[in-house]
Structure 1
């Protein structure tokens, strides 16, 4: 079961302060990407910036200041833009899926068309492989810059063709994750679906005036993962386990 209600995962994000090749963001930018199955929400804790999205409504810029909440569903390409010390609490549906490949970066179309090339470009070295933090950071920045190349390609296509230009990118994303889906189905069944079924059962009992589920109430306390933060798509992440 998820550590948070409804199969939600949570992480604390410090958006990258690396200057972007296209000059967007006074302080830096994250890596544009989309999710194929999960929804995401930004709850802004501090700093300033914006999230740029490309979806069925076209291109949009959503300002981010403390207290702002912006959410976006599967298929919406999003890019976190840092204008200064941007920190965000990130909520994701389907805990376990985003961590298992649900996010697809907007690499150039030639890379998206080749699963092996995509995996090579998307995978970062790890401390376990002997990589230093500086080496991991450099690889994350190269990955970000490659995603921005594809993002510029996608933006130009949307300018020409409108939101219909997203269709080939969505199709490529679906092909890339297809082999992962059986594992996702297992994760989702044991977390989100199980919680949904438990709620359905509770409601059926309550409508009859009985509540046996209340006797099984529990409390779970979960600590954040210890530093150092890992390099995510949009910035440095502090994460919480998705299961107690």
Structure 2
């Protein structure tokens, strides 16, 4: 486990990326990203350009939240969300528990038959990393369209059971990774919180040594234009 005093990630162990939301039209005519849900991570948006919306579906029902420059919006685990691009939508995305979202804490709203086991799900959602860009784009669009099909069925359902069934299927898919996730959490968010506690203890004892150990970090994106779930991503290695 990372020592509390050695934690050097972004404040609060958040993950950060810059997102240009897909403008590909789906079967329902809506341009945007791939509907999905996180199981243990909250997600936040800081809108930096363009306009659009985020469609969300929870046990409380459907909601559409407009997104314009300056909007800050966030939602908690269990929120099915779909980004809609109505013109040049650009967002800085903040993810709780840096590292966990990238380790699989996102399940796409595929139709039920694709959620039956990890192998079937992976075959429908994996984008070949070493393939030419045109092939990766085709794979990203195909999984987006498949997730939109499942999402529209969830929205159209007249009772809560289909969404509850999706929750159960998603939990079953990620269960084999929980031990790995817990270690990532311990080395990230838990270590970040522990560092504050330790610093408070030291200040109370008159120990100011952590102030003399101050450091400054900076970083440029480690990848530009990656095919993400919701759009093209500029990502930072130090936040995952």
| TM-score, scaled to structure 1 | 0.91
Aligned residues: 234
Q: Secondary structure at the match of 2:28?
A: coil
CA offsets 1:96-141 (integer angstroms, 9 cap, x no match): 11111111100001111232211100111122xxx21001001100
Number of the residue aligned with 1:93: 96
Q: Secondary structure at the match of 1:233?
A: coil
CA offsets 1:173-225 (integer angstroms, 9 cap, x no match): 11101111111111111111111111111122333444332222111111112
The answer as to whether partners of 1:49 and 1:83 remain within 8 angstroms in 2 is: yes
CA distance in 2, matches of 1:190, 1:52: 32
Number of the residue aligned with 1:218: 215
CA distance in 2, matches of 1:224, 1:2: 17
CA distance in 1, matches of 2:201, 2:165: 44
| TM-score, scaled to structure 2 | 0.93
CA distance in 2, matches of 1:238, 1:205: 38
Number of the residue aligned with 2:75: 72
CA distance in 1, matches of 2:208, 2:107: 43
Number of the residue aligned with 2:169: 172
Number of the residue aligned with 2:230: 234
Structure 2 unmatched runs, 5+: 1-6
Structure 1 unmatched runs, 5+: none
Q: Secondary structure at the match of 2:49?
A: strand
The answer as to whether partners of 2:137 and 2:227 remain within 8 angstroms in 1 is: yes
Task: Give me the CA root mean square deviation.
Answer: 1.5
The answer as to whether partners of 1:3 and 1:241 remain within 8 angstroms in 2 is: no
Number of the residue aligned with 1:8: 14
